[in-house]
Structure 1
Amino acid sequence: MKCVLAVFSVLYSFKFALSQSQITKSIKEPESSLVSTRSQTVQNVSRLLDTLLHNYDHNLRPDFGGPSTEISVNMQVRSMGPISEMDMSYSMDCYFRQSWVDKRLSFSGYEDALALSIEMLSRIWKPDTFMYNGMKSYLHTITTPNRFVRLFPNGRVLYSQRLTIRSTCVMNLQDFPMDKQHCPLRIGSFGYTSDDISYKWMKGIPEPSFKSVNQAGQGDGVNIASDMKLSQFDLISTPTGTEVTLRNKGLHSTLIVNFHLQRHMGDFVIQVYGPCILLVVISWVSFWLNREATSDRISLGITTVLTMTFLGLEARKNLPKVPYPTALDYFVFISFTYIFSTVIQFGVVHHYTKVGSGEYYLEQLESEECPQMEKRKRSRLNTNGSSTLKEFRLSPSQLNKVMQDYRGALKSLPNGRARSDGGGSVLTPVSKKSRISTPSLSGVYDPKCLNHHPTAAIYRRVNRNEKDFSHKLRINL
């Protein structure tokens, strides 16, 4: 019995080993077939490329001697900037794609597009495209040159590269900083005329990270990154077009794209417009200062003028020396005129309102006698009978007549004598026994009381003879 069981166990183990070997063989067969298929495909593509490039002359354009070769161009802009007014230029980072059909490279037996290495570019023909208004452009080479080539079965070649393009942009700054700029980019062939190469815009492959900022059907050849932001401008639109340019005694097909930019006002409001408005308002503070505060008003005026000059120079620091004024220059000049006028106004007012024209300096106002107090004193004297003469007012002509009458009366007195005292005849008393006392006219013609009268100028002329007249009326008998 034991011998039978041993025989069965040996047979079972042999059968199990045989089944495992069959399963392993069935698994390895597809893998080996797949590897063999891949190696065969690689060999076929290698033989295909060798066949395509056999007797291929990369110095001749496609359809040489026949119709012109059509080059389709598409641009996908990743970023823009800086945009310089000093250099009249702008820069942008973009994917520049060109596509054309070369029937010499068409093939069959392989349905998908072939992604070729960049070494193939030296073995096939490619257009000599350049930027007409370019200043300094370069190809990105980190970590390897950023470009690739794809070959389609019908012979179409797609050539893409990542470029940073810097181009000229002639700007009109008359409306600065509220201006809109149109920065063009012209693309064409360096050596081929329109008989050999013609350019056209190609609508790009839709990608979620790119968008078109134009209306439907306009500027389909240029796409803008959806997350692109500019610091000083807003990109409004990118209209495209084609034209034929006469250059080097030949007509050349040219592509044109215009980047329409609108400038932001926020930075200039904060740095120029706001400070200028505040400086003008500060200069008006001198209108509320006292006229006698000469040093305060002059200091305020000179400080605002110098600050306004600094702001005007700072606003034009980043602008080219254009031969015409900008809108910002007009605003700064008008603000400067307002501030300068406040200083001129103070000088005019100070010149025509000097001492004796109706106002006093602070020191004189402190020592000035109050007109109301003087009036009450004179009223009390008249009430008590201290003075028998009433206050009277005389015109200059009446004053001269009274002086002449008293001068003649004194000459007729027996004991009167006159004394010459340089500037004229001054009468002196000759008797102290009795005297006719007359009130002083200083209260009547006091300039402190009459300074604010409309006829203050007349009373100032009268005041010059006041002292002599008072002595002449004090006759001592």
Structure 2
Amino acid sequence: MLGKYNTKAFISLGLTFILMWISEATDTHMNYNYTTKPRVVLPPNYVKEMRPPSKKGSPVIVDFSIFVVDINSINVEDMDFRVDMFIHQRWMESRLEISDDIFEEGDDYVTLLPEFFDNLWQPDPYFLNSKIAEIATLTHKFTSVTLYKNKTVRYAARMHAIIACQMEFQLYPMDIQVCPIYIESFSSNNQKVKLRWSDSGVTLNPELKLLQYNLGQPLELEESDGYMPEKVGNFSRLTVYFRFERQIGHHLIQTFAPSSLVVMLSWFSFWLGLDAIPGRVTLLVTCMLTLVTMFTGLRADIPPVAYVKALDLWMAGCMVSVFAALAEFVVVKVLDVQYQYQVNRIPKRISNMEKGQCATVASWEGGAVRSRKATQTPTTPGQTSLQGNGGPPKPARRQSLLSVAWTDTDTGVEKIMWREIDKVSRAVFPILFFVFVLLYWPILLMKSS
């Protein structure tokens, strides 16, 4: 029994020593992997806070490029837009000690983990007019660092940003918004770091499409130095201008065509007589309310501004046209009431005087009273002549248009004022509206171009 227990103790002691040896070997291996120097070695005196050496008095050149993946959420109320993009920065880091055996056969570059970027000097550009700028992440940040044999460092990242844009709406809905993106070095002035566009500059995704806008091309790129009083100095700045041209097709179908048809519909009231007063009033009031409802809904698409927009002028032209048709109905109704009053209250009176005496003829001709003095003087037997004040006979003249009714002496037909106004309105209203359209569109197209 004692030997049996000694054997078990010996086995347990042996297993303990084996486990301790395995644990020590594992720790040694882990320490070896942790302390092994990378094959890309930074010099012992490397300080990442110091920029790479360059010619005396010249700044470090940083080439910058952007690949725009998508542009969306063009918000006219907040006056900003969101852009998803890949950014690329490239500069020369002559202090690196790169061994040739880290490159695969036939390659002149190697891609390293993003953590290596934290040990290098790096430029610090930022979006000057951005509200939000973030690097995209899923399980990790979408960044990469590439080293070339000539000691060029290339940093790439996928990011999205919300860019502020000062928009103008004078020509809405044919407005063109020019929205810049400013990229500037944050802490290094233009004597230390100079940003410049690379040969590729800014490129767009060929499948990029916007719902309400056309993106003007080519994009305008600019390199400049901007003075920042907050940071006291001139800093290198890159600018790219995006030109958003609003598509007019949506507004032609949803705004201009329906409002034009409503205005034309109001002209039908001129063919309705005053015996159809309920139908005429209903037609005009419905047209006015339709325009008000239509244009009230359009105001929700853009923020309230203090100046007059092109759409406001179109709204005013359409509503004034319908309101004028409604005012015309009120005028002709008042004239008709006056005409009916005179017809019913003033009877026609005709008086004939004997020969050789003055005769006063009072006749009601469509609501107007005419007085004529006639003298009949015999000349030859069987002939008489009608003279006024001893002169030749004067032709009868048409009454003033201010009268509610008159008789046309050329045709002998009675003319009623309100009916004549309706007839004239059938031609005048369409002509005035078409003149407004012919002036509106050429001026708007000329200004938008």
TM-score scaled by structure 2?
0.66
Percent identity, please: 28
Q: Is 2:213 the partner of 1:228? A: no
Aligned match of 1:243:
224
Aligned residue for 2:237, secondary structure, equals: strand
Aligned residue for 2:132, secondary structure, equals: coil
Aligned match of 1:81:
72
Aligned residue for 1:135, secondary structure, equals: strand
Q: Compute the displacement of 1:358 (Å).
A: 9.4
Q: Compute the displacement of 1:222 (Å).
A: 0.5
Aligned match of 1:56:
46
Aligned match of 1:310:
293
Aligned length: 318
Task: Give the direction of change, closer, same or farther, for the CA distance of 1:339–1:455 in structure 2 (3 Å limit).
Answer: closer
Which residues in structure 2 correspond to 1:265-280 (within 5 Å)?
265-280=248-263
Q: Is 2:437 the partner of 1:454? A: no
Residues in 2 aligned to 1:397 and 1:82: alpha-carbon distance in whole angstroms: 91
Residues in 1 aligned to 2:342 and 2:37: alpha-carbon distance in whole angstroms: 111
Which residues in structure 2 correspond to 1:114-133 (within 5 Å)?
114-133=110-129
Q: Compute the displacement of 1:359 (Å).
A: 11
Task: Give the direction of change, closer, same or farther, for the CA distance of 1:73–1:456 in structure 2 (3 Å limit).
Answer: closer
Residues in 2 aligned to 1:108 and 1:360: alpha-carbon distance in whole angstroms: 114
Residue deviations 1:25-53 (CA, integer Å, cap 9, x gap): xxxxxxxxxxxxxxxxxx9xx75546326
Q: Compute the displacement of 1:172 (Å).
A: 2.0
Task: Give the direction of change, closer, same or farther, for the CA distance of 1:171–1:359 in structure 2 (3 Å limit).
Answer: farther
Residues in 2 aligned to 1:455 and 1:281: alpha-carbon distance in whole angstroms: 33
Aligned residue for 2:131, secondary structure, equals: coil
Which residues in structure 2 correspond to 1:13-92 (within 5 Å)?
47=37, 49=39, 51-52=41-42, 54-63=44-53, 67-92=58-83
Q: Compute the displacement of 1:67 (Å).
A: 3.0
CA contact (8 A) 1:140 1:162 kept: yes
Residues in 2 aligned to 1:455 and 1:269: alpha-carbon distance in whole angstroms: 49
Aligned residue for 1:57, secondary structure, equals: coil
Query: Unpaired runs of 5+ in structure 1?
Result: 1-42, 205-220, 362-392, 402-444, 460-477
Aligned match of 2:271:
288
Q: Compute the displacement of 1:106 (Å).
A: 4.4
Q: Compute the displacement of 1:395 (Å).
A: 2.3
CA contact (8 A) 1:88 1:171 kept: yes
Residue deviations 1:165-185 (CA, integer Å, cap 9, x gap): 211111221111112221101
CA contact (8 A) 2:343 2:367 kept: no
Give the structure with the higher percent strand. Answer: 2
Instruction: Give the aligned residue type for 1:117.
Output: L
Q: Is 2:96 the partner of 1:105? A: yes
CA contact (8 A) 2:70 2:85 kept: yes
Residues in 2 aligned to 1:150 and 1:302: alpha-carbon distance in whole angstroms: 71
> Which of these residues, 121, 130, 143, is aligned with residue 134 of structure 1?
130
TM-score scaled by structure 1?
0.62
Aligned residue for 2:61, secondary structure, equals: strand
Aligned match of 2:351:
395
Aligned match of 1:216:
none
Residue deviations 1:244-294 (CA, integer Å, cap 9, x gap): 100022000000111122110111112111111111011112111121222
Q: Compute the displacement of 1:55 (Å).
A: 3.7
Residue deviations 1:306-357 (CA, integer Å, cap 9, x gap): 1111112211212122221111111111001011111111001000111654
Aligned match of 2:415:
none
Residues in 1 aligned to 2:352 and 2:139: alpha-carbon distance in whole angstroms: 106
Aligned match of 1:38:
none
Aligned residue for 1:287, secondary structure, equals: helix
Residues in 1 aligned to 2:43 and 2:205: alpha-carbon distance in whole angstroms: 37
CA contact (8 A) 2:226 2:236 kept: yes
Task: Give the direction of change, closer, same or farther, for the CA distance of 1:356–1:184 in structure 2 (3 Å limit).
Answer: closer
Residue deviations 1:119-140 (CA, integer Å, cap 9, x gap): 1121111111100111112111
